[in-house]
């Protein structure tokens, strides 16, 4: 039986840094979370990452020689091979930032960098809704739409470690523009920000919508969460938004089914909190859009690990690449 191995997982988010001490046999041993405070700049954020790594190692009573590596999941774009964060709009000063080179001396371990969506895909594949399958697609519906590809049991990240940007599949040349400048992508239709934007558009033509009451008349307060609340109460505008979102999401997943023929598509992110109806509607559309045989094979599932998927994946990647 293989010996137990240990790693540290770090998940760098725009709001929080999550750290875990992790066992190859027992999973998470210790978990800690602290605010990112990105506005304080690169050096301070780097310091907090190192502090959290050392903290969970100490709490788990692990010696330096026990830990094989530290895995860091970070928003992209990044160059995982060279350990560089190419751009980080949320953290001041992280432009072409050599985070691995900077972090390693502070934690006294090898550091492995990976895109946060890819890390979440690895986490769900190892311990979540993708456990036991060989070919899996991960979709994360949050402020944007992220993704990750597991092919033949391994993370596929492409020649430049940029593969898996599934939110940027083009669905309509006349669709909404997203912050990257792309038009008509899945992210422009199925992200939390896209749902809120579409709801605000339709509210202008429906002054009786429950969304006006829920948002207290302030369009800035309209969110995907509020739209879901109104949908549950069968508000006409919210129902339309939810149905439209399901159609676009289903079309995107149908394309992935035809291209990759996966065993499972795992859907995560803030949009999925309470969004079982959305996934059911989108799954039906996806299977209508896909070829019959792969449509019969694939299972479309809600993610199981919640916010821990990324940090578990980072820890698993550290074990694999140590």
Residues 186, 243, single domain; the answer is yes
- For residues 26-30, average pLDDT: 97
Rounded to an integer, the average pLDDT of 189-210 is 96
Q: Please indicate, yes or no, if residue 65 is contained in any of the structural domains.
A: yes
* pLDDT recorded at residue 311: 97
Is the Cα torsion angle 279, 282, 284, 288 positive or negative in sign? negative
Per-residue pLDDT, 83? 95
Sequence-distant (6+) residues with CB within 8 A of 73 are 9, 10, 11, 12, 114, 115, 116, 118, 119, 120, 310, 311, 313, 314, 317
Q: Is residue 1 one of the residues assigned to a domain? A: no
> Looking at residue 265, what is its pLDDT?
98
Whether 165 and 198 share a structural domain: yes
Whether the model pTM is above 0.75: yes
The 10s digit of each residue's pLDDT in 237-256 is 999 999 999 999 999 999 99
94 part of a folded domain: yes
- 297 part of a folded domain: yes
User: 30 and 155: one domain?
Assistant: no
pLDDT of residue 73 exceeding 90, the answer is yes
Residue 38 in tokens: 């990105």
pLDDT at 89: 66
Q: At what angle do helices 236-260 and 192-203 cross, to 10 degrees?
A: 140
Residue 235 lies in a domain: yes
Under DSSP, the state recorded for 185 is B
Give the model's confidence band at 48: pLDDT under 50 very low, under 70 low, under 90 confident, else very high: very high
* Pure H helices in the chain: 42-59, 99-107, 116-127, 187-190, 192-203, 210-214, 224-232, 236-260, 276-289, 292-297, 309-321
Same domain, yes or no, for 136 and 264? yes
pLDDT digits (tens, 9 = 90+) for 120-152: 999 999 999 999 999 999 999 988 898 999 999
Tell me: do 113 and 216 sit in the same domain. no
C-alpha dihedral over 230, 236, 241, 245, to 10 degrees? Answer: 100
3-class secondary-structure state, position 7:
strand
Could you report the per-residue pLDDT of 203-214, keeping only the tens digit for each? 999 999 999 999
Same domain membership, residue 76 and residue 14: yes
Contact of 11 with 311, CB cutoff 8 Å: yes
pLDDT band at 174 (very low <50, low <70, confident <90, very high): confident
**Same domain, yes or no, for 177 and 83?**
no
pLDDT tier at 21 (50, 70, 90 boundaries)? very high
Specify if 241 maps to a domain.
Answer: yes
CA distance 5 to 13: 26
Task: For residues 188 and 295, state if they share a domain.
Answer: yes
**Which range of residues forms the domain containing residue 220?**
132-303
CATH number assigned to the domain comprising residue 100: 3.30.420.40
Per-residue pLDDT, 154: 95
Of all residues in the chain, the percent with pLDDT exceeding 90 is: 81
236 close to 174: Cβ distance less than 8 angstroms: no
What is the tally of structural domains in the chain?
2
Tokens encoding 155? 């993370």
In 3D space, the residue among 220, 310, 229, 213 whose CA is nearest the CA of residue 273 turns out to be 229
Q: Are residues 314 and 290 in the same domain?
A: no
Residue 215 has pLDDT above 90, yes or no: yes
Q: Are residues 67 and 212 in the same domain?
A: no
Statement to judge: residues 155 and 248 lie in one domain: yes
Does the pLDDT value for residue 230 go beyond 90? Answer: yes
Contact by Cβ (8 Å): 116, 146: yes
- Mean pLDDT (the chain, rounded): 94
pLDDT-above-70 percentage for the chain: 99
Q: How confident is the model at residue 94 (pLDDT cuts 50, 70, 90)?
A: confident
Residues 188 and 103 in one domain: no
Mean pLDDT of 187-194: 94
In this structure, is residue 249 part of a structural domain? yes
Q: Taking residues 186-200, what's their average pLDDT? A: 95
Quick one: pLDDT band at residue 275, thresholds 50, 70, 90?
confident
- Which pLDDT belongs to residue 178? 83
Segment 173-192 mean pLDDT: 87
> Between residues 183 and 54, which one has the greater pLDDT?
54
Instruction: Enter the tokens of residue 267.
Output: 């859907």
Residue range 212-227: average pLDDT? 96
User: In this structure, are residues 157 and 118 in contact, taking their beta carbons and an 8 Å threshold?
Assistant: yes
- Residue carrying structure tokens 């089914």: 257
pLDDT of residue 90: 65
Question: In this structure, is residue 25 part of a structural domain?
Answer: yes
- The pLDDT score that the predictor gives to residue 235 is 97
Q: What is the CA radius of gyration of the chain?
A: 20
């Amino acid at each position: 039986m293989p010996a137990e191995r240990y790693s540290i997982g770090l998940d760098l988010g725009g709001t929080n840094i999550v750290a875990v001490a992790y066992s190859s046999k027992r999973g998470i041993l210790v978990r800690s979370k602290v605010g990112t405070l990105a506005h304080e700049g690169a050096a301070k954020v780097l310091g907090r990452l190192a502090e959290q790594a050392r903290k969970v190692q100490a709490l788990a009573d692990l010696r330096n020689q026990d830990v094989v590596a530290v895995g860091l999941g970070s928003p992209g774009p990044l160059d995982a091979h060279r350990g560089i964060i190419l751009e980080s709009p949320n953290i001041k000063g992280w432009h072409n930032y050599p985070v691995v080179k900077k972090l390693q001396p502070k934690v006294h371990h090898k550091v492995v960098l990976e895109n946060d969506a890819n890390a979440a895909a690895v986490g769900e594949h190892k311990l979540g809704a993708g456990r036991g399958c060989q070919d899996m697609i991960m979709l994360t519906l949050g402020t944007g739409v992220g993704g990750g590809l597991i092919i033949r049991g391994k993370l596929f990240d492409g020649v430049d470690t940029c593969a898996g940007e599934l939110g940027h599949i083009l669905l309509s040349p006349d669709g909404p523009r997203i912050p990257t400048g792309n038009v008509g992508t899945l992210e422009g239709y199925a992200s939390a920000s896209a749902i809120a934007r579409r709801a605000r558009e339709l509210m202008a033509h429906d002054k009786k919508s429950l969304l006006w009451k829920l948002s207290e008349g302030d369009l800035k307060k309209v969110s995907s969460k509020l739209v879901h609340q109104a949908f549950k109460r069968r508000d006409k505008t919210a129902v339309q938004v939810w149905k439209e979102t399901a159609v676009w999401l289903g079309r995107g997943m149908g394309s992935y089914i035809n291209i990759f023929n996966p065993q499972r598509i795992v859907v995560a992110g803030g949009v999925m909190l309470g969004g079982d109806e959305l996934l059911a509607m989108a799954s039906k559309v996806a299977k209508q859009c896909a070829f019959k045989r792969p449509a019969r094979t694939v299972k479309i599932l809600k993610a199981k690990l919640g916010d821990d998927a990324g940090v578990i994946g980072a820890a698993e990647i550290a074990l694999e690449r140590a």
